[in-house]
Amino acid sequence: MEARALVAWNVRRIRVDLGIPQEQLAYDAQIDRSHMGAVERQDANPTIDLLDRIAKALGVHVSEFFVQPPKGATPRRTLRKGRKPARLRQKKK
């Protein structure tokens, strides 16, 4: 798997496993949502600085983006539209 595909795979895997919508991750990483989508679709070539911001927003080390998926693994399905992460619901008290 090429590096850009590997990063895209792992960013989406981690984000979906944590239940974080793409829009929230983009906000936390201080980038535009469309650019975040481009990273996950392999349409963008993220810089090391951007990967570092995304990793911090996800609470993981940047090396997690370079973990090879197991053979036969299928891509994570995206979250349902309109789903709000728990941390956003808590802030609106």
Residue where the block lists tokens 């239940």 = 19
State the burial class of residue 71 (Cβ atoms within 10 Å of its Cβ: 0-12, 13-18, 19+). Answer: exposed
* This prediction's pTM: 0.76
Round to whole Å and give the CA distance between 30 and 78.
21
Per-residue pLDDT of 48-81, as tens digits, reads: 999 999 999 999 999 999 998 878 777 666 666 6
Please tell me the CATH superfamily of domain 3-68+78-91, with its number. Answer: lambda repressor-like DNA-binding domains (1.10.260.40)
Tell me which of 80 and 23 has the higher pLDDT.
Answer: 23
**Domain boundary assignment for the chain:** 3-68+78-91
pLDDT at 15 over 80: yes
pLDDT (0 to 100) of residue 53: 96
Q: How high is the pLDDT of residue 13? A: 92
Count of residues in the chain: 93
Q: What is the pLDDT of residue 93?
A: 46
Please give the structure tokens belonging to residue 85. Answer: 């992460």
* Rounded average pLDDT over 5-29: 93
